[in-house]
Structure 1
Amino acid sequence: MKILVVGAGATGGYFGALLTRAGQDVTFLVRPHRAAVLRERGLRVTGRDGEWAVEPRLVTADALNTLYDLVLLSVKSTALEQAVEDIAPAVGPDTAIVPLLNGLAHIDALNARFGTAAVLGGVAKVVTTLSEAGDVVRLAPLAHLTLGEQDGRPSPRVEKIRSVLAEGGIDVLVSEDVTASMWHKWVFITTFGAVTSLMRGTVGEVNAQPGGADLGPAVLAEAAAVAAAAGHPVPERERRATLDIVTAAGSSMVPSLYRDLTAGRPTEVEHLFGDLLHRARALSVATPLLDLATLHLRVHQRRATAAP
């Protein structure tokens, strides 16, 4: 199976490196600057597994002229529009696209460009970041993918993809309702992002203050209410797992959104929060804390993207 991994950042870089190390036919579609770094250093993974590296096969958008069986789309939402155009030469009638972005707006964009038959649902749960040198740093044990057909039907191609990814050392779950799985991840990431971004602190720092431990459950209740109104209630097990993370005493955990915020970089505010609020309004669900977090992030976004 010919696999194109779009983006070699913290998520795509990690899963793509696993597949490459296992001998799968993997090519990374990257920007010229990232290509230069990877050609010089290789694709390195550090952290919990020690340090290891692979020599990745690379292509830039101007040189992409081959069809692929599987496209793993792992970019920030701010790069989605360009990525959709960049991957077009790689997508044929039998290509399966598995996006690993959070939220749901990207599914609409991909469906519109390539058709629903080409696009699977996908969820990535992995705790990684990029070092200043451009290496993938694995911060926690969690690392698995969930995928499935958008309509939930079993399909041979999904099973084939699962098998190939599993042979590459990736823990993969096939979901009969991948849209629900995407909603549940969305609830988690917006809850986690709102708590840390609003308070400009780690989970542990927030919960160490009087009243801090009440914030996470309150934000989660809002986000979960939107999901439930959309027809995808969060199961108790997942709700409890999210609560455990956002109320953990002494935890140094922060999401990538927080790291972008505190570094002065643009965030995925519209893709993650703006779209969720749009759906909440359409469903008549009140979200005052998520509204406040979104406003906070939008003010930052305006500063971060303002011309110098």
Structure 2
Amino acid sequence: MRILIVGAGAIGGYFGGRLLEAGRDVTFLVRPGRAEELDRSGLIVRSPLGNILYPSPPHVMAPMLDQTFDLVLLSCKAYDLDAAMDSFAPAVGPETMILPLLNGMAHLDRLAERFTPDNVLGGQCLISLDRDASGAILHLNDTNQLSFGELSGVLTPRILKVAEALQHAGFDANLSQQIILEMWEKWCFIATGAGITGSMRASIGDVIASDGEALVLRLLAECASVAEHAGHAVRSEVRQRFQAMLTSRGSKMTASMLRDIERGAPIEVEHLIGDMIARRPGADTPVSGELSALDFVYLNLKSYEARRVREQK
């Protein structure tokens, strides 16, 4: 199976690097600056599960992309999705499968509109990653799960081929027959974690130490209500696990959104929080009175974005 990894950033570089080490046919689609880094230093991953140093990994830039691939692994930020689709469009043929690892749900419709619904799979990953100033990818925990499946949940011959390509490659490859539910559950978790740590500019442990548990639980409950309204209620055991993680005293957990804020970068506030608000019951009905937890974190994070844009002018 010929696999195109769109970008060699934290997520794409990590999973692509594992696949390369496992002998898979992988090519990275990169921008000129990243191509220079890969040519000069190779693909570097520092991980508690084993480091990667892959000299000169196969890569191509968009103007030279002139052939289709079997699988396109997509892990860009939501605000870069349109540009990413433009860049990898020549790689998509009628049989190409696109496996997006973005948070939220809106990207599924956008990919289906740009290509076809048949091109699109469901996917998510559970891993904490960052990059240092040199371009090296840093694996920040000991979890590296990638889940994928047909949006219908059917075990088709093509998804079984994807499973075969991703298995035994140094990460936990999970073929799911309920990938949409799992994507909703992760969205609830990420929206809560990012909403809290991003708006408070603090770790989960610091928020809990400041008597913020009620706000955390309120935000999680609001997100879970949106998921239930959409027909994908968060499973009780999953919600209990989320609650334990998001209210753990002394936890150093932060979302990547907070790291983006600290470096003055754009954030996925619309994709993670704005779209959650747009999907809640009665979203079209004006509400007066007390702000919901979702409204509060959205206002805070949008204010950061407004200041960031103003200061860049």
Q: TM-score, normalised by structure 2?
A: 0.94
Is the contact made by 1:3 and 1:69 (CA closer than 8 Å) also made in structure 2? yes
Is the contact made by 2:49 and 2:142 (CA closer than 8 Å) also made in structure 1? no
- Which residue is 1:295 aligned to? 299
What one-letter code is carried by the residue in structure 2 that aligns with 1:278? A
Is the contact made by 1:226 and 1:283 (CA closer than 8 Å) also made in structure 2? no
- Give the Å deviation of 1:50: 4.6
- Which residue is 2:119 aligned to? 118
- Which residue is 1:237 aligned to? 237
Could you tell me which runs of 5 or more consecutive residues in structure 2 were left unpaired when the two chains were aligned. none
- Which residue is 2:38 aligned to? 38
CA distance in 2, matches of 1:124, 1:269: 19
Task: Calculate the aligned-residue CA RMSD, in Å.
Answer: 1.6
- Greater than 4 Å deviation, 4+ residue runs: 281-287
Distance of aligned partners of 1:48 and 1:166 in 2 relative to their CA distance in 1, 3 Å threshold: same
Identity of aligned residues (%): 42
CA distance in 1, matches of 2:261, 2:241: 25
SS in 2 for 1:167: coil
SS in 2 for 1:152: coil
SS in 2 for 1:79: helix
CA distance in 1, matches of 2:242, 2:140: 18
Is the contact made by 1:192 and 1:254 (CA closer than 8 Å) also made in structure 2? yes
What one-letter code is carried by the residue in structure 1 that aligns with 2:60? V
CA distance in 1, matches of 2:173, 2:52: 22
- Which residue is 2:309 aligned to? 305
SS in 2 for 1:44: strand
What one-letter code is carried by the residue in structure 1 that aligns with 2:93? G
- After TM superposition, the structure 1 stretch with the greater mean CA deviation from structure 2, 166-175 or 68-77, is 166-175
CA distance in 1, matches of 2:232, 2:281: 16
Could you tell me which runs of 5 or more consecutive residues in structure 1 were left unpaired when the two chains were aligned. none
SS in 1 for 2:33: helix
- Which residue is 2:138 aligned to? 137
What one-letter code is carried by the residue in structure 1 that aligns with 2:273? F
- Which residue is 2:49 aligned to? 49
Is the contact made by 1:145 and 1:173 (CA closer than 8 Å) also made in structure 2? yes
Is the contact made by 1:99 and 1:121 (CA closer than 8 Å) also made in structure 2? yes
Is the contact made by 1:195 and 1:246 (CA closer than 8 Å) also made in structure 2? no
CA distance in 2, matches of 1:282, 1:181: 24
- Give the Å deviation of 1:281: 4.8
CA distance in 2, matches of 1:195, 1:29: 33
CA distance in 1, matches of 2:212, 2:207: 5
- Give the Å deviation of 1:246: 1.1
1:241-282 Cα offsets, whole Å, 9 max, x none, are 211221111111111111111221110111111111111155
What one-letter code is carried by the residue in structure 1 that aligns with 2:71? L
- Which residue is 1:29 aligned to? 29
What one-letter code is carried by the residue in structure 2 that aligns with 1:108? D
What one-letter code is carried by the residue in structure 2 that aligns with 1:166? Q
- After TM superposition, the structure 1 stretch with the greater mean CA deviation from structure 2, 39-48 or 184-193, is 39-48
How many residues in Structure 1 have an aligned counterpart in Structure 2?
307
1:62-89 Cα offsets, whole Å, 9 max, x none, are 1111110000001111110011111110
- Which residue is 1:160 aligned to? 161
1:103-137 Cα offsets, whole Å, 9 max, x none, are 01111110001111110011111111111211111
Is the contact made by 2:104 and 2:183 (CA closer than 8 Å) also made in structure 1? yes
Is the contact made by 1:69 and 1:94 (CA closer than 8 Å) also made in structure 2? yes
CA distance in 2, matches of 1:195, 1:58: 37
SS in 1 for 2:141: strand
What one-letter code is carried by the residue in structure 1 that aligns with 2:307? R
- Which residue is 1:217 aligned to? 217
